[in-house]
Amino acid sequence: MSKLWLKRILQVAGALALVALAVIVYRRTDWCKGFTPDGVMTLIAGVIAFIAVIIQIRSSSKQVQDQIKAQRDAEREERERHKRAIATAILYEIDSFYRIDLELADKTLASWDEASNNLPSAAGLRTNISEIYKGISPLLGSLNASSVSAIVKFYSMVGTYEGLWHSYQFSLDMLRAPANAAVRLSPQSLMNDAKTQLKGIRDLIPQLKELAATVTSSVAHDCGLDELIGRGNAQTH
């Protein structure tokens, strides 16, 4: 705002200089005799002064414009750095979840025989899957709409995935409780619940992998982070 005021002050100064020139010429000129040598010299000096003021105004105006442009460029670069930082954090969290949690759960459930009563441990259960997302979710507005939509859909499904694992862990705990513990549900009912939860988890894994790939591609392209995928970071297979 101060730069705009400076530009206006210089413009006013130029206008005042022009008025002063007119007044000086008028007062130094004997209009009955026409232009006198003093009047001519005054006019020339005034014109030179006026031109100098105009040049100064234009120079100062250009400096102001350059400073405004530099400030805008700096602000734009800062927004881009902020955007890339948010995107990088999200991509690494998704990559970690994909490579550690989903791969482990996929391998565990691939070898599980649902016809038997042997239940795997709660492999893949983690309580901090979405910690980064929860921390920076208010800042996602800096990304484009398609990236935000993909991120929200992915983490919504992650919430379902976590809920199924917690429910499965509860069923396991009830099944493994001491025989004298007060258990309202029968062991068979708990076993059926546990199997249903495992099936739900197994069905979610391919969907989560597909969504993870969609998020990774969209966010990386949006924020110019394709090099992360090229190095194998934040990449899904």
For residues 38 and 117, state if they share a domain: no
Model pLDDT, residue 235: 45
Look at residues 72, 89, 105 and tell me which one is the last residue of a structural domain: 72
For residues 19 and 60, state if they share a domain: yes
Mean pLDDT lowest among 77-86, 179-188, 196-205: 179-188
For residues 48 and 135, state if they share a domain: no
Of residues 18 and 175, the one with the higher pLDDT is 175
Q: How much is the pTM?
A: 0.66
How many independent structural domains does the chain possess? 2
39-70, pLDDT tens digit by residue? Answer: 556 666 666 766 776 776 677 667 767 777 77
Look at residues 72, 99, 131 and tell me which one is the last residue of a structural domain: 72
Model pLDDT, residue 1: 46
Model pLDDT, residue 26: 55
Mean pLDDT lowest among 85-94, 115-124, 138-147, 151-160: 115-124
Of residues 67 and 167, the one with the higher pLDDT is 167
Please compute the mean of the pLDDT values over residues 225-234 and round it to a whole number. 55
Q: H/E element holding 60?
A: helix 37-96
Q: Is residue 235 part of a domain?
A: no
Q: Domain limits at 62?
A: 2-72
Burial of 138 (0-12, 13-18, 19+ CB in 10 A): exposed
Quote the tokens at residue 68. Answer: 């405004």
> How far apart (Å, rounded) are the C-alpha atoms in residues 199 and 164?
10
For residues 85 and 33, state if they share a domain: no
> How far apart (Å, rounded) are the C-alpha atoms in residues 210 and 165?
20
For residues 84 and 32, state if they share a domain: no
Of residues 207 and 53, the one with the higher pLDDT is 207
For residues 62 and 122, state if they share a domain: no
> How far apart (Å, rounded) are the C-alpha atoms in residues 159 and 130?
8
For residues 109 and 24, state if they share a domain: no
